[in-house]
Amino acid sequence: MTLTVSAAPPTERRPFAVLAVLTDIAYGVSLPLVLLLAWESSSRFGWLPQQILPAPQVVWATLVDLWSDGSLADHTLQSLKRVAIGFATGALLGLLAGAALGLLPRVRAFVWPVFSAIAQVNMLAWLPLLVLFIGIDEELKYVSIAWATAIPVILATTRAITDVSPKLLELGRVLDFTPLQRVSSIVLPAALPSLFTGLREGLASAWQNMVIVELFASFEGLGYLMVWGRQLFQLEIVIAAMIVIAAIGLALNASLEYLERFVQPWKTEADREH
């Protein structure tokens, strides 16, 4: 006599899935709510002076004012433009360079030691040299953001390609695949998850370095808005800009995660089964 175990029908599993999603949302908002409550308590009971930590209501009113007069939208669009150009350039160059390093062992042996040393130096340390060669105009922002993007993308792409299972590559040889077929049918699908990890890290680095370079040399953008608020000693402007930077950073990361699920439908199906 054989026993068969049938999986629960989708209608029975759906309530548990909804409950899991609601639980994740509750966990996700709990810490921000606690921090907001602590911030409000500090303002109400005077734990910190208003000049150091303005009340949440003051920061919200500042956000509304900056949006109403159009300055917040102008600074945000300028920052997004810089990140879009810098990230697109850095990601493309990073993918090409990482592919060359991963697919060509001789190129990797020649370039990798120098590249590894360069990757250890923070982008902020390169800014004085870049200013000497490029100046402080828009080109500096684009080059800095592209550089910050390319480093993690190159690292992730190279490792993703070199970590492809040799058995899969041998299967391609047995099937008499051309080099292009091996790359498109074997290497790329196997390396895709790591490639998107590198792109997410590159996007996060691009967004963070956008703020740094705008703090360093800029007259518009969210980073400049923070500098302007600090110079006026209006920390509510600084905090408002920080909130906008954090919110956009989360939205950009979520967008890239959605694109990853769209490009890798098999991964989404596997996650649903588990």
Burial class (CB in 10 A: 0-12, 13-18, 19+), 172: middle
Helix (H) or strand (E) holding 42: helix 10-45
Band (244; pLDDT cuts 50, 70, 90): very high
Q: How far apart are CA 207 and CA 201, in angstroms?
A: 10
Task: Using alpha carbons only, give the angle 41, 44, 46 rounded to the nearest 5 degrees.
Answer: 95
Whether residue 5 has pLDDT greater than 60: no
In the prediction, which pLDDT does 237 show? Answer: 93
- 28-85 confidence digits (pLDDT tens): 788 888 888 998 888 888 888 888 889 999 999 999 999 999 999 999 999 999 999 9
Amino acid at 147: W
- Measured in residues, the chain has a length of 274
In the prediction, which pLDDT does 136 show? Answer: 83
Domains of the chain: 59-273 (1.10.3720.10)
Q: Report the range out of 39-53, 122-136, 168-182, 192-206 with the highest average pLDDT.
A: 192-206
* Residue 184, token pair as written in the block: 């498109």
**CB-based contact 142:206 (threshold 8 Å):** no
Q: Which residues of 46-76 are buried (b: 16+ CB within 10 A; e: fewer)?
A: eeeeeeebbebebbeebbeebeeeeebeebb
In the prediction, which pLDDT does 274 show? Answer: 47
pTM of the model: 0.82
Band (270; pLDDT cuts 50, 70, 90): very low
* Residue 179, token pair as written in the block: 């080099």
In the prediction, which pLDDT does 13 show? Answer: 56
